[in-house]
Amino acid sequence: MRPRTCPACGDRPVATARHAYCYNCQPGGPQTPPPCRRCGSLTGYYSAGLCRRCHRFAPQTTDSCIDCYAWGVTRYQGWLCEGCDGWRRRFTPGAPCPSCRRIVAVNADGWCRLCWRQAAARRTRQRDTTVLAANRHGQQLFFADMFRQKRPAAVARPGPAVPRPVGHYQLTLFAARRDLTHVEAERLPQPADPELAEGFDRLVLQHARGHGWSKSRRNDARRGIRILLALQDAPGAPIPASDVAVVKHFGVAYQPVLDVLAAAGLLIEDRQPALLGWFTKQVAELPDPMTSEVRTWFDVLREGSTVAPRSRPHAPATVRLRIHYAKPALHSWAADGHRSLREISRADVLAALPPEGTDRALVGTALRSLFTVLKGRRLLFTNPATRLRTGRPQTRQPLPLPMSPVRQAIDSDRPDRAALTALIAFHALRTGQLRRLHLTDLRDGRLRLAERTIPLAGTVRHRIAAWLDQRTRRWPGTVNPHLFINASTAGRLTPVSHAWINHTLAVSAQGIREDRILHEATATGGDIRRLCDLFGLSVQAAARYAGTSNPTLQRGN
């Protein structure tokens, strides 16, 4: 039970249950308290023959471990730190420790935990030491329970952290081109930061496993990363994409290295778009003032404008088309001695227009766009193309396609070619729709597009099933969600290109699509509503096909 408080001092408990006062306040005192009957301590007496450390109702205090003297244990822990508590459960007290001569629990080698820990702290990789030598000149005590680090198993040992770009690094004064003509990859120096190289190895393995890479693709990425790190001036700095091309010299694939660097956030995209290089060639022969003005127009077409006249960015194909049709007029004016578009009059614009047809409409559209942008940027005094009427491009009448090459493509031994041709020939899908198709768009014998759901024909389902079987056999680990993939996109998440689809078909995709719609228009007598529902056409586009449905139009054989 909890002892009574001494009525004289009101601070200490009574000496024993039979006493009315503490030993300091005893009549005729103070008297010297006896030693603790449990631990033998001569100091810190509390009550009932026990000291403050041993009495269960004494105020909780912090003291040293009774085995290793580590500071920070309490009575609730039995005055033992966690290390010594576990040490006592593993080893029983026996002979005295040869180092400190104390009779405490010793390990299989005969050392107590205090002396063993002292030797472990003094031991390094370069210098070994014995327990006696480590404890010869005294011992360094420590705080209790400071050795709690968990040592995971070797198989679960975490690798180096995923590499991240450093916050600051030394910039180079100028870019020096390295001559690697006679250098082999094996003779390159080791990466300056081995931990960074090991982290990249770990990232490559994770990326390859997550994207279903082949062994050769994974090894190319690891080898390319090692080459770049060996040539890097500042370890951990982002790597420009233009510098990655150096791996081609050593026979390493270029794209896997780019994918890993982009995943790590260590890629600086500094490659010039192909459109910029193409435009530079188109205006190379123009005089300087005119070149600057045309470049302003080109930048607005490509990037858009938030100031009047405002415009959205145009597709690269549209930009190329505008520059292509404006180019003859620009070179003609430069040949006539004009150095700036400020010198161009309305008569010059009219003289540069083709006489009629689609070319006249497209050239007029390009020149109107050019002068409108320059006038909005206040680079011209007047707009010579204002209210310039050049007509509309002529529409081409859709014509049937001979069926023999289409039948050959549908019955092809290549599952990808057969599936592509069947989707176009039966359901008139566009090339862009084929590129964007995902595996999840095929469910329950139906193809679900953004604007409509198409019940697939039996022939199409068989061709798609054959393609999916080949896709699984050839790229079993791919995570690309698109229906159609190839060797270049199987290890990535991007769709196939328009060029791949046209090359695989070996037949005009637009020609097959037009033939399918034209056949439906002929079979339904030009039902515009049916054409819109089946193929997702606008009313104007459906009317173009419906106008050609007549008894004299025959399908080619």
CATH of the domain at 519: 1.10.443.10
- For the chain, helix (H) and strand (E) counts, in that order, are 20, 9
Domain that holds residue 365: 281-376
Task: Count up the domains in the chain and report the number.
Answer: 5
The tokens for 437 are 């198709």
Residue 360 lies in a domain: yes
Residue 179 lies in a domain: no
The b-or-e profile of 402-425 (16+ CB within 10 A means b, else e) is ebebbeebbebeebbbbbbbbbbb
Residues 427 and 539 in one domain: yes
Say how far apart CA 14 and CA 2 lie, in whole Å.
Answer: 10
Residues 359 and 467 in one domain: no
Domain ends where: 268, 297, 327? 268
Domain ends where: 223, 242, 268? 268
Residues 295 and 359 in one domain: yes
Domain ends where: 9, 29, 59? 59
Residue 155 lies in a domain: no
| In the block, residue with structure tokens 């930009």 | 319
User: Which residues pair with residue 51 across a beta bridge?
Assistant: 45
Predicted local confidence at residue 186, as pLDDT: 67
Residues 303 and 431 in one domain: no
Predicted local confidence at residue 553, as pLDDT: 40
The tokens for 58 are 């004494």
Residues 454 and 502 in one domain: yes
Sign of CA dihedral 444, 445, 449, 453: negative
Residues 435 and 514 in one domain: yes
Residue 397 lies in a domain: no
Nearest by Cα to 528 from 552, 547, 554, 550: 547
The tokens for 43 are 């100091």
Report whether 260 contacts 207 (CB < 8 A). Answer: yes
Say how far apart CA 403 and CA 420 lie, in whole Å.
Answer: 16
Report whether 391 contacts 421 (CB < 8 A). Answer: no
Cβ neighbour number for residue 367 with a 10 Å cutoff: 23
Per-residue pLDDT tens digits of the chain, which is 557 residues long:
678 888 888 778 887 877 888 888 888 778 888 888 877 777 778 888 888 777 777 777 788 888 888 888 887 777 788 888 888 888 877 778 888 888 888 888 888 888 988 888 877 655 667 888 888 888 888 888 777 554 444 343 444 455 666 767 777 777 777 777 667 766 777 787 788 888 888 888 888 888 888 888 888 888 888 888 888 877 778 888 888 888 888 888 888 888 888 888 888 888 888 899 999 999 999 998 899 999 999 999 999 988 877 889 999 999 999 999 999 999 999 999 999 999 999 999 999 998 888 889 999 999 999 999 999 988 888 899 888 888 888 777 777 788 888 889 899 999 999 999 999 999 989 899 999 999 999 988 899 988 788 899 999 999 999 999 999 999 888 889 999 999 888 888 899 998 999 899 888 888 888 888 888 888 888 888 888 888 888 888 888 888 776 444 444 43
Residues 71 and 41 in one domain: no
Residues 535 and 411 in one domain: yes
Predicted local confidence at residue 549, as pLDDT: 61
Predicted local confidence at residue 540, as pLDDT: 83
Which strands make up the sheet holding 446-448, listed edge to edge?
A: 442-443, 446-448, 453-455
Report whether 517 contacts 538 (CB < 8 A). Answer: no
Residues 542 and 427 in one domain: yes
Predicted local confidence at residue 556, as pLDDT: 41
Residue 275 lies in a domain: no
Residues 541 and 418 in one domain: yes
Residue 167 lies in a domain: no
The Cβ-side half-sphere exposure at 455, using a 13 Å CA radius, reads 2
The tokens for 427 are 């359901």
Residue 24 lies in a domain: yes
Predicted local confidence at residue 213, as pLDDT: 86
Residue 154 lies in a domain: no
Angle, helix 458-474 to helix 415-427, in steps of 10 degrees:
150
Residues 291 and 262 in one domain: no
Report whether 545 contacts 517 (CB < 8 A). Answer: yes
Pairing of β 239-240 and β 267-268? parallel
Pairing of β 63-64 and β 71-73? antiparallel
Residues 263 and 203 in one domain: yes
